[in-house]
């Protein structure tokens, strides 16, 4: 499993994966900035310019205080948002990265048939809602666990990410029933691989690479669990 991860790290520096990575970073930053801009606009619409307080009188700085406070709030919130954001872009990255990994490391395989676009979009949206709901419910646990809160974050999101990434990779080449059976058979490795993906999600900037790294890593994991061996790379097939 660690070998799959390290090989995937090497794959990140190949031209196709690097292009996808830069696109993912740009899209993630754009989404977070859009959420922040919307939050600031909401504060501007709902907060009066002048607020009259008992025994204090008119206060003119409340809106400015809330605007600056919203920046700190969004920085903290982005820690939790990066998990669903990474999930949201997984569908965009997965096919390009997985196909490149297979062309370079598993050249004997034919093209993957893959799931339909509609089915893939439905699965991604369902998983996105599951991730958001699970992390909202886990907020209480984060507060009560104190210093041990990261363990809950990594364990829970590792399970969810491992389940989803493996499923999306497996459905490129297997029917849904066989993909589920393979995941359940090797659930421990899938979960630990998901934890490896959840760890960098808690590190600013590094979390942007997770969707591409996970797509490559779970492609290697899937083929290893199926008994596929990495083969010699044909000159044209192996360009990645």
For the chain, what are the domain ranges? 2-225
Place 33 in a pLDDT band, splitting at 50, 70 and 90.
confident
pLDDT in tens, 185-206: 999 999 999 999 888 877 766 7
pLDDT in tens, 120-159: 667 767 777 777 778 777 777 777 877 888 888 889 889 9
Q: Give Cα 121 distance to the centre of its chain.
A: 15
Q: What is the DSSP string of 63-75?
A: HHHHHHHHHHHHH
Q: Which of 128, 68, 131, 90 is nearest to 214 (CA)?
A: 90
Residue 196's contacts (CB-CB under 8 Å, 6 or more residues apart) are 1, 5, 158, 217
**What's phi and psi for 215, nearest 5 deg?**
-60, -45
Q: Which of 78, 110, 112, 108 is nearest to 215 (CA)?
A: 112
pTM for the model stands at 0.74
CB 39 within 8 A of CB 31: no
């Amino acid at each position: 499993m660690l070998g799959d991860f390290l090989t995937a790290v090497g794959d990140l520096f190949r031209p196709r994966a690097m292009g996808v990575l830069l696109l993912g970073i740009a899209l993630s930053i754009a989404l977070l900035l859009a959420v922040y801009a919307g939050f600031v606009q909401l504060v501007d619409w709902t907060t009066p310019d002048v607020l009259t307080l008992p025994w204090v009188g008119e206060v003119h700085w409340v809106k400015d205080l809330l605007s600056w406070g919203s920046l700190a709030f969004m920085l903290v919130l982005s820690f939790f948002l990066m998990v669903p954001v990474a999930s949201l872009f997984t569908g965009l990255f997965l096919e390009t990265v997985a196909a490149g990994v297979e062309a370079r490391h598993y050249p004997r395989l034919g093209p993957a048939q893959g799931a339909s676009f509609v089915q893939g979009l439905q699965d991604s949206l369902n998983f996105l809602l599951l991730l958001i709901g699970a992390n909202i419910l886990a907020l209480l646990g984060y507060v009560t666990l104190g210093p041990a809160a990261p363990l809950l974050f990594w364990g829970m999101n590792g399970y969810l990410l491992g389940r989803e990434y493996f499923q999306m990779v497996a459905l490129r080449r297997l029917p849904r029933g066989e993909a589920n059976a393979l995941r359940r058979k090797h659930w421990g490795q899938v979960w630990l691989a998901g934890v490896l993906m959840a760890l960098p999600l808690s590190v600013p900037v590094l979390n942007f690479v997770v969707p591409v790294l996970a797509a490559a890593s779970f492609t290697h994991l899937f083929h290893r669990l199926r008994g596929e061996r990495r083969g010699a790379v044909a000159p044209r097939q192996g360009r990645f």
